[in-house]
Structure 1
Amino acid sequence: MSWYLPIGRDWWFAVDTRIFFFFNQYLATSKPFLYLVAFTNLRPFDVVAFLAMLLIYAWQYRQMDRAGRRWMLAMGAAMLLGAVFDKVFMESLDKVLGFERASATKYLTAAGYELNRVSVLSGWPAKDWASSSFPGDHGMFLLIFVCFAARYLGRRAALLSLAVFVVFSLPRIMSGAHWFTDVAVGSVSAVSIIMGWYLLTPASDRIIAWLQRHGDRILHRLVP
């Protein structure tokens, strides 16, 4: 709320710009950092984040017996459903409150600042520009996985998932494709609201049970 209201917007903007310029200065002075940021902002690198989550899921899946594996599949389906709920919620809220804003690079370039662009300096098609960057969808979906891991998969899986969230959210912030608050405020707020309702009530348990009950025939085929 403090980010949305005018009284708190200046404070958050100061945080955003300080973080952006901290990383942006090193794009011109450090070649290793430049190419690290460029590489981690290539579109195919997003697949690595998905694979990291899949490995955590598969690690838990392999420890289960046959019934547990069918439950894991139902839980995974419920997680995807939760992601849809979250996306629809944010799109509906955006239509009412108008959260849309340009990424750090686009906004500050329009304001007259001379910036270091990852895609220009590296020559790679790295993502460092967006017309609408709030909330951070990338961080939002990673955080949903963190919430499900914390609720259902135990402490170790939750901590590993949290590490994946931090590591794979940072590149967009470092390149300027997202502001810090796109993730810290946008993604976290959206996920906290929906996942709080979804995971801290019987809703997710009932959906998983329903999927197990009505999808039992399909689950038996997937996990004989």
Structure 2
Amino acid sequence: MPLISVVIPTLNAAAALPFCLAALRLAERVRMPLEILIADGGSSDGTVALAKQSGVRTVTAEKGRGRQVRAGGQAARGDWLLFLHADTVLAGDWPGAIAGFIADPTNRQRAAHARLAFDDDRPAHRLIAAAANLRSRLLGLPYGDQTLLIHRDYYRSLGEYPALPLMEDVALVRRIGRRNLTLLPGVTAITSAGRYRRDGAVRRVLRNLACLGAYFLGFPPERIARFYR
């Protein structure tokens, strides 16, 4: 099996990162060749030290998820890239699903993502996840939290992740196109619901929809990012 590079952008992620990395250890048990690469945006909470203690490669990038995943993708050594958020844990037989996807030569010009779930089982969070999964299936617009598996050559032919302060995930999957996106069977990306608990689920959803609408209307990503924050 070819080498798979897992690219994880981090910014003060010391609390969440150990759980993300622990789930990736499943690859060792099935002897899947995996490179884990942290693209850090200037953490001050020990994230980089934690990553190094875990034997994970680290690169430093300018703060901003788009810039960080772009830098991580450029530093990756693998034939396949798996972009994963630091507050997300892969669940299910993700090594088997990834191996199956990679084994099909036609998927070198396609990409795959996981089903979304939250680490908080409140009804509002289940509804948000269900809506996100429906959006992914019907519109081909998975969230960055849902991870993205893509061949390095195809990724580079698309221009890589743009160095945007926000909406870098939407920009890339729009280039890929709905027909070239598929779901990794049996794989769930369990991500933190912390931002929904902090801001309120309804308020956060409305803010996300406003940002997405503004992006499609052509508003500058820098302006959208200021509103988002």
Superposed pair shares fold, TM > 0.5:
no
> 1 or 2 for the larger relative contact order (CA 8 Å, sep ≥6)?
1
TM-score tier, shorter chain, comes to under 0.3
Q: Return the TM-score normalized by structure 2.
A: 0.23
Greater strand share, structure number: 2
Q: Return the TM-score normalized by structure 1.
A: 0.24
Greater helix share, structure number: 1
